[in-house]
Structure 1
Amino acid sequence: MGTTTSGTVLAARDISKRFGGVQALDSVTLEIQAGDVRCLAGENGCGKSTLIKILSGVEVPDAGEIEIGGTVRARMSPADALRAGIQVIYQDFSLFPNLTVAENIALTPLIAHRRKLIDPRDVRARAAAVVAELGVRLDVDATVEELTVADRQLTAICRALAEQARVLFMDEPTTALTQREVRALFRVVQTLRERGVATVFVSHKLDEVLEISQHVTVMRNGAVVASGRVEEFDRMSLARAMTGRDVRDQRDVPSLDGTARPVLSVEGLGLDGAFEDVTFDLRPGEILGITGLLGSGRSEIAEALFGVTPAQRGRVEVGGEQVDIRGIDDAVAAGIGYVPSDRLTEGLFLDQSIADNVVAGSLDLHRARSGLLDRARLARTIDTFFAALRIKAPSVAAPIRSLSGGNQQRVVLAKWLARGPRVLVLNSPTVGVDVGSKEEILDILRREAGRGTGVIVVSDDIPELVSVCHRVLVVRRGRIHQVVGGERVTEDSILGGLSA
């Protein structure tokens, strides 16, 4: 029996894990102190998830040891991990949507202690005490399905505290949060730190990593390649450690003919309760950003252009011709493509192959004169985009579920690029995508713009917009509040428009 060093709550030493012919983890060592706020960074597929599964008892390591509370273990079960205070909050939060906040917070620890009879008043009192301890506003009587994403996350954190969490892993905790909600989450993390609870963030958002973390551990190809205090890193060095190469962190927009006739003209677009008087032009080869706080109407504008929720007023022209977009079919016929924010439920057929997904939106363009599908043309299209977009998979027959987030997003892009759209609208195109894949996706957009496609990027990732957009529309309360263009496309200018 060994003992951890003073203040160490969890230590993993020389952890290795192989799945078939893939070395998922190679002699990984990680030590977490009480009250530490640590970021576990790395590209998709680097081994982060496997390590967390081993530390939470879901997977068994092939080699190495785990030390908790002075006890050394070769493996743990999920029950062992929970008893030791190891908690994981995944992106779906793993809550019961039909139960109240109080029930979600208090029932699990009560059941774990084999309580056969449960008093609803006791459940509510226990939950209210945890919420008060954390110092947050949370209606313990509300059902979880009624909550915002931020409040669901708080419920999951409170549940972890109710189970006496000592180490809390959080998987991409800020992906669906507004800037205000991110600030609130960071305050909660600070409270956890003061109470001695260690928090481990898994995140691709480098600015947030550098702001909230005390320590950073970077993984690549199943191994730890860098680890240290956050002060030892900046955006460039962190991205380099994650990818193994220099990643551009500067403005790089394609050349643009400002005299070209607009490929898309929008005038007076309006939808009750969503947006009003939206007017702008998009030129061939232009990348136009649309940003705003959550609820500002930015996503609704994109969905209206693609006919998901059609506008009630206004005029839309594509290539100088007026089009009446009453539904998705109208938008597709006009030459508009759309990459949704939720690629898993709206953009892909998860159980189908890469090949099937790539051509799912363009089967009508691959018919022979007989009306039958031209299999040879289909194969050429699939192979072309599989290679051009550098989709990382064993073959085009691989199922979508087996791909990383970045490669799934490339398949969605391929599906629309196979139609040769005149206008491509992308809603949060790099959300949940690692820094290396993000750069490559933005390069794809630059390349398509260079070929004359008009591109619209809807995003709250301000550095991303600065990097790739010629102009940015700032939307507030459903109206275009500011247009930032040229040399004025900077983070300060855009953030100023959001907060003005």
Structure 2
Amino acid sequence: MTVVAEPVLEVHNIVKTYGGVHALKSVSISLLPGEVHCLAGENGSGKSTLIKIISGVERPDSGSISIGGSRRSHLTPNEAIRSGVQVIYQDFSLFPNLTAAENIAMLSELAERRRFSSRKRIYAEADRIVRELGLKIDLGAEVESLSVADRQLVAICRALVGDAKVLIMDEPTTALTHTEVDRLFTIVRRLQERGVAVMFVSHKLDEVLQIAQRLTILRNGELVETGPASDYTGRSVAKAMTGREVSEDRLVAPVDKDAALLLDVKNLTRSGDFHHIDLQLRVGEILGITGLLGSGRSEIAEAIFGIRPAHSGEVIVAGQSHKIDSIRDAVRAGIGYVPEDRLTQGLFLDASIADNMVASSLDSYRTKFGLLNRKRIRDSIADLFKRLRIQAPNVAAVVHSLSGGNAQRVVLAKWLDRKPTILVLNGPTVGVDIGSKEEILTILREQAAAGMGIIVISDDIPELVSSCHRVLIVHEGRIVSEFVGEDINANEIHKRMAA
């Protein structure tokens, strides 16, 4: 007879409203020891609210939580931590100026209410958990000097020092390469062996199905499905999340073989970052550039846009050579850039959607007398808001109130309002749910069909397969492979990247 383990944590019929809007509608979920339970759903589905309630940050309107053998109406953050609940958020919530060891031991030092810290004790405690998990971390290094992958390992170790029974990982693979994701999954399996219940929250459906034993899907605050992960495919999860069929096929129209050359990069070099880069982009073409983290892929994009100018080489836009020594030079040449970190580099978070949309193009709305044509501005904002299908009450909504997918659409709108000849996008759908991702990629295809040249920097290989006419692979600062048309294949790209 099979013995079913008792849940380490259960939530029962949780309801949470904000201003009359239901964030969660009678949601129940259980977490078993040694199980990876993935929580899936689009932005706004209720995932973050549920995490906040489990971790004690938010209090539900009704329902209950069972943990540690007792049932209660809500938890406080301290009660959640004492009961063994730990959350690793996307930003890891680490102290960048402290060492890895100090970050790892911080919670246990606070929990034991020590008045004085002992460097020897801190390093011994950190070393114990690192060895137990079979990791290699420079415990003496300041966290700000570590890679994203190593910072994540520090956050995991910090949680386990506190004897975590439930570990919630919120979008843990967003900034990781394919190789680093494999390493993270190895760590997750070790946590399972320790009996830790892992709640894994991710938009990346292939990863969800690779690591999960069970799956719960939320949509509009309601639990729509839960069951063994083996019962699902990427397509069926996407349909449950969005309520509609989501295509996984290649959806790019062929580029005219006689299309004019929009961008011709020749022998572009920046010492220490990339060398002798040659690439071309034609009217209506979407060019993908990928490679492992540190390969030089982002640095190439930043050089083309003048953020970190190349030391040598030539950039020719629409037949005219341009010296790109600054962002201003790139914009004048007709190049736009959507950065990887849209929140700190691409948007004014405290400003409205409307103000963000026209922030970089106000001069184009001036009359011959130097005054702003307010009607043209309003018309353009309304058109972009509708065309990019931004989900917000109105254009006066503040950008920091938007979901990741809608914030990304505002960044796109800002550049589309400038009508660039070439648009470079670095990680255009990072942290974006499956429905918004599909719509953003559709917008890019529409812009390419209208004659824009688009470059997409991404490590989301299915995204490149579905949307690009060509894909270049960068390794150690050089372009080492090119895939064209129907030869663009996810398995072959992964193989070449790992070679």
User: What range describes the TM-score normalised by the shorter chain of this pair?
Assistant: over 0.9
Q: Which residue of 1 aligns with 2:95?
A: 96
- Map 1:69-468 → 2, pairs under 5 A: 69-468=68-467
Q: Which residue of 2 aligns with 1:37?
A: 36
Q: Distance in 1 between matches of 2:333 and 2:434?
A: 33
Helix, strand or coil at the partner of 2:8: strand
Q: Distance in 1 between matches of 2:285 and 2:300?
A: 18
Cα pair 1:254 1:285 within 8 Å, conserved: no
Judged with a 3 Å threshold, the aligned counterparts in structure 2 of structure 1 residues 460 and 406 are, in CA distance, closer, same or farther, namely same
Helix, strand or coil at the partner of 1:93: coil
Give how far 1:50 is off: 0.4
Gaps of 5+ in 1: none
TM-score normalised by structure 2 residue count: 0.98
Give how far 1:440 is off: 0.2
Helix, strand or coil at the partner of 1:349: coil
Give how far 1:59 is off: 0.6
Q: Distance in 1 between matches of 2:368 and 2:117?
A: 70
Q: Deviations over 1:146-182 (max 9, x none)?
A: 2111111111111111111000001110111111211
Cα pair 2:290 2:471 within 8 Å, conserved: yes
Q: Distance in 2 between matches of 1:61 and 1:428?
A: 35
Cα pair 2:254 2:469 within 8 Å, conserved: no
Q: Distance in 2 between matches of 1:252 and 1:347?
A: 28
Q: Distance in 2 between matches of 1:219 and 1:499?
A: 35
Gaps of 5+ in 2: none
Cα pair 1:484 1:493 within 8 Å, conserved: no
Give how far 1:350 is off: 0.4
Give how far 1:124 is off: 1.2
Q: Deviations over 1:122-144 (max 9, x none)?
A: 11111111111111111222221
Q: Which amino acid is 2:7 matched to? A: T
Give how far 1:483 is off: 1.1
Q: Distance in 1 between matches of 2:122 and 2:63?
A: 40
Q: Which amino acid is 1:238 matched to? A: V
Greater CA deviation, 252-261 or 16-25? 252-261
Q: Which amino acid is 2:47 matched to? A: K
Q: Deviations over 1:361-388 (max 9, x none)?
A: 1111111111121111111111110000
Q: Deviations over 1:258-289 (max 9, x none)?
A: 11220111111111111111112211000011
Q: Which residue of 1 aligns with 2:488?
A: 489
Helix, strand or coil at the partner of 1:263: strand
Q: Which amino acid is 1:181 matched to? A: E
Q: Deviations over 1:409-430 (max 9, x none)?
A: 0000000000111111100100
Q: Deviations over 1:186-238 (max 9, x none)?
A: 11100000000011111001111010111111000001101111101001000
Q: Deviations over 1:327-349 (max 9, x none)?
A: 11111111111001000011000
Q: Distance in 1 between matches of 2:325 and 2:97?
A: 35
Q: Distance in 1 between matches of 2:219 and 2:296?
A: 38
Give how far 1:118 is off: 2.9
Q: Which amino acid is 1:490 matched to? A: N
Greater CA deviation, 393-402 or 104-113? 104-113
Give how far 1:496 is off: 2.8
Sequence identity percentage? 58
User: What is the number of residues matched between the two proteins?
Assistant: 496
Helix, strand or coil at the partner of 1:325: coil
Q: Distance in 2 between matches of 1:314 and 1:369?
A: 39
Helix, strand or coil at the partner of 2:276: strand
Give how far 1:102 is off: 1.5
Cα pair 1:336 1:423 within 8 Å, conserved: yes
TM-score normalised by structure 1 residue count: 0.98
Cα pair 1:289 1:457 within 8 Å, conserved: yes
Q: Distance in 2 between matches of 1:418 and 1:457?
A: 19
Give how far 1:484 is off: 0.7
Coordinate RMSD, CA, aligned: 1.0
Greater CA deviation, 115-124 or 214-223? 115-124
Stretches (4+) displaced over 4 A: none
Q: Distance in 1 between matches of 2:488 and 2:83?
A: 49
Give how far 1:119 is off: 2.0
Q: Distance in 1 between matches of 2:205 and 2:405?
A: 16
Q: Which amino acid is 2:237 matched to? A: L
Q: Distance in 1 between matches of 2:389 and 2:467?
A: 20
Q: Distance in 2 between matches of 1:310 and 1:120?
A: 43
Give how far 1:493 is off: 2.5
Helix, strand or coil at the partner of 1:23: strand
Q: Distance in 2 between matches of 1:116 and 1:316?
A: 60
Cα pair 1:14 1:63 within 8 Å, conserved: yes
